[in-house]
Chain A
Amino acid sequence: MSEATMSEQADLERRRGQEERLGKVWATPKSWRYWSAVNNTEVGVWYTATSFFFFLFAGALALVMRSQLAVPENDLVSAGLYNQLFTLHGTMMMFLFAVPIFEAVAIVVLPQMLAARDLPFPRLSAFGYWCFLIGGVFVAGSIFFNAAPDGGWFMYPPLTTDPELSGIGADIWLLGLSFIEVASIAAAVELIVGVLKCRPPGMRINLIPLYCWYILIVAGMILFAFPPLIAGDILFELERMFDWPFFDPARGGDPVLWQHLFWIFGHPEVYIVFLPSIALLAMIVPTFSQRPIIGYGWIVLAAVGTGFLSFGLWAHHMYTIGMPAISLGFFSAASEAVAIPTGVQIFVFVATMLAGKVIFAIPMLFATGALAIFVFGGLTGVMVALAPFDWQVHDSYFVVAHLHYTLIGGMFFPLMAGIYYFYPFMTGRLLSVRLGKWAFWLMFAGFNIAFLPMHFTGLRGMPRRVFTYPADLGFDVLNLVSTVGAFVMAAGVLVVTFDLIRPLAKKLKAAHNPWNAGTLEWAPLDPGNPWGIRSVPVITSRYPLWEQEGLARQIAEGRFYLPDAKEMKRETLITTVLDAEPVQVLRLPGPSFLPMIAAIFVGGSFIAATFHWWISAALSGVVGIGVIMAWLWTGTAMIPEKASKDAGLDAELPLYKSGPQSVGWWAMFITMVGDGTAFASLVFAYYFYWTIQPDFPPPDATGPGLTYPLLAAAVAFGAWLCMVRARAVNRGGSERRAAQLMATSVLLALASAALLLYAPWTTGLVPTRDVYDATVWVLVLWSAIHLVVGVLMQGYCIARSLAGKLTARHDIDLQNVVLYWHFAAITAIVTVMVIALFPLVA
């Protein structure tokens, strides 16, 4: 044997060994343990399938509605059931399909696009999925018990705050969806840290795939959009369960506050579902135009611009509530301005298509269909953004037509394109071209037949959300046509569903990179391997597979970073934010049932609260927290057996980083930004009441005084100071002294929480008396709960320290908890400033 063949043989042996180890480490658990998987390839697929199932369910509800409306004075369903149908249809399409499926697709695709083995918090993704599944089944299943929410997907009070009128449905909506929102925020944390810290070396910020830009922006939007709704849900539930009068005008409340909080969430939400779908087009259009996108920087402008501007639109859903003209003007202006960045991305896609040679494969068919429908919806959007026009069509079928054109054109069709595009990447098989064409034309034609006439139905005056209409008002034919269209579209959906679920063996095998795409998710030569990417490559281009010759082969040969799993641990590479220089090898946790069990108990707590089973709710919640603690204890901030390891390509990288350099710190920071937004929404509620009432606090209000709140703030400050000191002392090596400081902080925090609650108690504020009392109570409760959660974290750190898992060098837990305490202390101090000091200046 020649020397060359011998070294080739040795190389082959070496690679085989590496692959065997990687395969073992990343293996998917077998049989019933399969459900303990946390890897993105499993969780992402479950997530996608579940949200697609909810889409089919919500679509079926729409078909029942269309059948009811097919002819005038129909009696297929009762008025009450019809109310449940449209409420659940809107709710499910938004909360159980549009948002989750974006997160689902991102969880599947993002790590591969970034050549990461997984996102940084796999168990968090799994927890998010199980929360979503439990909450989703709870909300969707309610209709089988005639108990579904029936007050519209926006749940306007005072209709829905009256338990007599709305039954248990409103509670199911509020608690079920609050629970699901937790999952959304968890996914946002995962995706932001993923895009910023888990990129392959060399993938500088000017080289990241456009999809990642969109995901980054959208995940950021979630942090500012969802918390106001969570805050609103809290106020809402407090009114329904305990009669705190936030939305009751007789006691100083105002239903309009709910509308503000709902739409501060609700309008960005439209863009939260639209941008990730457009992101799919930003991947598909260049691939099928066989050229790089024209105007990469313009897309970044569009994503960032839309992300921000979309927050200035919320009140355009409230044009008819009687706001001053100047306020209408501000929202109208912002609504028109958002058309600029939205239009920019359409032009970028069209320009790219014109400059390249377009191949009209099925994904591209859906992509162009999407653009056509979306442009139409965008134009009617510019119309309804004008307040005087909106007054004419408000709550009519014109708006139904408009919103379906934007959402189906801007979200559903791009998603379909994405499903066809990424199917071979997920399964190694191709979906049928013939069925794809059928599906597209049925859906495209059906959609337009269903929704185009609705513009006219609306202009003729048919209001939304009516279960029937008299004959001869000019609605009859239009409605019948819409119903026919809806069923044609449903036939298209059925064709896709059939194609998706028919056995894989009957589908054509896909070649490697079947669409000849340029981005990294298509690099793996065999998608069946469990490890995601064989080795983490060095990137020098926006379209590495097009421009870096032989890259896929070199990756598969393990020529780059992390080609092995010598210590038999799951690992991925962490890089810097701007330039993607490798800085750490991150150990990832493996399969575990703990996230699922935690979701079951936390979900159980929410579900029990819906039925006012308080003891079960409390018990379930406590067990849930216990499980989360166990999960953290056994799976996070593990101290590695050595300080650093050889990551390949002669790079020796650390295995442990804490503070702002660790991914966990960023996750905490991002979560607390969301938490801070929810708190800001509660403070907004206080000032909202102050604005609309002549006197706030009202003259007969008795509390909460100055002494106790100020004392509480001072003590909370002390607790924070102890924590900051504990961090420094621990770093200095005095671990024992740090534990003592934390224990002192526990006492101070509990004292502060008690003082906060004692203040309105002792001055006699009764939350059911007036909205002022209720608002003060909700603020002090929020702060006190944050202090108590802080105490739990401190207890955890003390225990870790005593167990030797928190040391001077290995202090991730303490760093993160101190970060939490920055926010908790600010929350307590701001609360005191609002409730105790502001009345003095007001």
Chain B
Amino acid sequence: MFWREKANLWTLITPPTVWALHFLFCYVVAAIACAKFGRAADLDGTRIVIAVATVAAAGLIVVAAVTARHHWSIGSELPPYDEPTSQDRERFLGVSTFLVSCLSFVGVIFVAMPALFISDCR
């Protein structure tokens, strides 16, 4: 799923999908922990789980970004990639996916930050 020879619309939405799953995972894990162990409970275990999930999500997004960079074949030609050729279509999808990957990466880090600073359920 993360390495494809050709870019398409699925590769384009893979990085933000990873972001969405990571976001949902963090929220659900913390919500369950706080609901089941009470407001005074510390979140040590949860934070480790979130850290692992964050590394995994960031890793997957990096793989997606590297794949996208491959499709982009950067260096030979700059945007706007608006020629009616397969090559430009591929480059366009590559560069767009790369940008979406960067945003998703930042998004994952953003979402993980509260777990870095907040240590209990209050």
Contact = CB atoms under 8 A, between A and B. Distances in A.
Contact of A297 (B84, B92, B117, B118): B92
Interface string A273-301: 00000000000000000001000111011
Given A309-B19, A324-B122, A337-B107, A304 B89 contact: no
A840 to B, nearest CB: 18
Given A301-B103, A329-B118, A296 B82 contact: yes
A98 B51 CA distance: 40
Interface residues of A, number: 43
B35 A692 contact: yes
B58 to A, nearest CB: 14
Contacts of B96: 297, 300-301, 304
A333 interface: yes
Interface in B6-49: 8-9, 12-13, 16-17, 19-20, 23, 26-27, 30-32, 34-36, 39, 43
B34 A326 contact: yes
A327 interface: yes
A204 interface: yes
Nearest to A340: B103
B80 interface: yes
Interface stretch (A462-470, A534-542, A765-773): A534-542
Contacts of B9: 205, 577-578
B25 to A, nearest CB: 10
Contacts of A326: 30, 34, 43, 114-115, 118, 121
B111 A337 contact: yes
Contacts of A206: 81-82, 88-89, 91-93
A2 interface: no
Interface string B89-122: 1011101100110011011001101110110011
A336 interface: yes
A541 B39 contact: no
A334 B23 contact: yes
Output the residue of B30, B80, B84 with the most chain A CB within 10 A. Answer: B84
A691 B111 contact: no
Contacts of A312: 19-20, 23, 107, 111
A301 B93 CA distance: 10
Nearest to A299: B96
A202 interface: yes
B75 interface: no
Given A297-B79, A308-B20, A325-B118, A205 B111 contact: no
B86 interface: yes
Contacts of B8: 577-578
A330 interface: yes
A2 B81 CA distance: 47
A341 B118 contact: no
Output the residue of B86, B93, B114 with the most chain A CB within 10 A. Answer: B114
Contacts of A207: 82, 84
Contacts of A300: 12, 96, 99-100
B interface: dominant SS = helix
Nearest to B18: A308
Contacts of B26: 330
Given A207-B84, A540-B84, A541-B84, A298 B20 contact: no
A327 B27 contact: yes
Contacts of B114: 325-326, 328-330, 332-333
A interface: dominant SS = helix
Contacts of B79: 296-297
B118 A298 contact: no
A821 interface: no
Contacts of B30: 324, 326-327, 330
A205 B11 CA distance: 13
A330 B22 CA distance: 11
Interface in B37-86: 39, 43, 79-82, 84, 86
A539 B89 CA distance: 14
A305 interface: yes
Contacts of A204: 84, 86, 88-89
Interface string A312-331: 10000000000111111111
B17 A329 contact: no
B93 A205 contact: yes
Contacts of A248: none
A323 B103 CA distance: 27
Nearest to A325: B118
Given A326-B43, A327-B34, A691-B35, A304 B110 contact: no
A311 interface: yes
Nearest to A694: B36
Given A304-B13, A332-B114, A336-B110, A205 B89 contact: yes
A691 B30 CA distance: 11
A337 to B, nearest CB: 5
A113 B91 CA distance: 24
A292 B122 contact: no
A324 B31 contact: yes
Contact of A304 (B23, B100, B113, B115): B100
B17 to A, nearest CB: 7
A526 interface: no
Nearest to A328: B114
Contacts of B80: 292, 296-297, 542
A557 interface: no
A579 interface: yes
Contacts of A323: 31
A304 B93 contact: no
A669 B2 CA distance: 23
Contacts of B115: 326, 329
Contact of B99 (A298, A327, A330): A298
Contact of A311 (B20, B39, B117): B20
A388 to B, nearest CB: 13
Interface string A538-567: 011110000000000000000000000000
Contacts of B121: 324-326
11 contacts: A206-B82, A292-B80, A297-B95, A300-B100, A301-B99, A312-B111, A326-B115, A329-B118, A330-B23, A340-B106, A577-B9
Question: Top 7 closest A-B pairs, CB basis?
Answer: A329-B114, A206-B92, A308-B16, A301-B99, A540-B84, A333-B110, A324-B34
Given A329-B113, A330-B111, A337-B110, 20 more contacts: A206-B82, A206-B92, A292-B82, A301-B96, A301-B99, A301-B100, A304-B96, A308-B16, A312-B19, A312-B20, A324-B30, A324-B34, A326-B114, A326-B115, A327-B30, A329-B117, A334-B110, A336-B110, A540-B84, A578-B9
